[in-house]
Amino acid sequence: MSHYDPSVHTTCDVVRQAIIPATKAQRCAYSTLVGEQKPQKMVTHSWQNLFRDLVAAVIADAVNEPAFELVAHLLDENIDIVEDLLRSQGTGGRVYWICAFAVNQHLGICETPNDGCDSVTKLPYTACDCHLQKQFNTTAPLTSTGRSIACEMNKFDDMMAFLASSDSDFSQVVAVDRSFNLFHRAWCVAELVQARQMELLQHVKIHSKAVLQEHAASLHDLHVENMKASRQEDVQEILSKIPNTEQFNRSLQKLVLDQKSGLLSDWHQLDAAHQMQETGALLKWAAADAERGVVWKFWAR
């Protein structure tokens, strides 16, 4: 993807124009190409998020940063610092499950690029012509509950349950985009609720406290029936599993907003000064560099 622009291109852009072309010959998931490993964490994220911010949120988790603003800057300006930090923390080899890489896109969406156009050129995505037989939500053979067995896009709950059953430390990273769009996407919300029901530890990574303050009000109006997904059948499947939407919405708002136990409660409870202290290894690293007279490029601007 030679025209990749980290400040504009989304995960959807990268899936359509880098991951799908890179895996077309083998007609497999990207994770199959690089060697499948059992993940220790799964990442919930929106495909409309900047791909750079998804990567920054994952790295922020690996280096124990609550926010990913600094990591996102460093990915653009000085990736060596990020690599050094990952090495020093010994977390560079940690395996994260990310649907864009772990799901075989050639079994699903590759031939139907109807989810938009390139964020820079505005040209429509090109359809893949791998001709692999597609396995959608209702493609036979089906389970007794009518779910396709071979489909890879209807199994996030089974996958989470399977990984959690064999690893008591298995947890979820929530990579929240700067617009907080994640909380309005059907898949993301379904994964948040599933993880909470399974009592998985949930690590929420946001860009910054400023972004939280800007968007917190929009979270008071979360209704699962208004959630969006690229494929309408996904919304239907998610809604079909919810017996009482009113009750679900109340639980969802509590899950996100509750001041004590909600996903964002750590952020709400920390005042600004405390957050600076709590901010993890990256700031300490920067401070040590500053003492040695090394000024990080983006801070000098």
Site of interaction with Zn ion (CB under 5 A): 106, 110, 128, 130
Least Å distance between CB 112 and Zn ion? 10
Q: Which is nearer to Zn ion, 106 or 231 (CB)?
A: 106
Provide the CA 141 distance to its chain's centre, in angstroms. Answer: 30
For Zn ion, the closer of residues 39 and 108 by Cβ is: 108
Taking alpha carbons only, the member of 247, 274, 202 closest to residue 41 is 202
CB of 47 to Zn ion, least distance (A): 17
Q: Which of 205, 182, 194, 163 is nearest to 37 (CA)?
A: 163
Chain center to CA of 32? 19
Nearest approach, Cβ of residue 2 and Zn ion (Å):
21
**CB of 128: closest distance to Zn ion in angstroms?**
3
Nearer to Zn ion, 115 or 157 (CB): 115
Class of residue 49 by CB neighbours under 10 A (exposed 0-12, middle 13-18, buried 19+) = buried
Closest to Zn ion by CB, 110 vs 238, is 110
CB of 48 to Zn ion, least distance (A): 22
Between 71 and 128, whose beta carbon lies closer to Zn ion?
128
Residue number with CB closer to Zn ion (110 or 224): 110
Phi, psi of 231 (to 5 degrees): -115, 125
User: Closest distance between Zn ion and the C-beta of residue 129, in Å?
Assistant: 7
Contact indicator for 45, 177 with CB cutoff of 8 Å:
yes
Q: Tell me whether residue 270 is exposed, middle or buried, using C-beta atoms within 10 angstroms of its C-beta: 0 to 12, 13 to 18, 19 or more.
A: middle
Q: Closest approach of Cβ 18 to Zn ion, in Å?
A: 14
Structure tokens that stand for 34 in this block: 């690089």
Six-digit token pair at 160?
């989470």
Contact 43, 96 (CB under 8 A): yes
Closest CA to 228 of 258, 265, 190: 190
Rounded Cα distance between 116 and 17, Å, is 12
For residue 181, count other CB atoms closer than 10 A to its CB. 17
Give me the least distance between CB of 20 and Zn ion, in Å please: 6
Q: What is the DSSP letter of 18?
A: I
- Nearer Cβ to Zn ion (136/296): 136
127/239 with CB nearer Zn ion: 127
Please say whether the beta carbons of 77 and 298 come within 8 A. yes
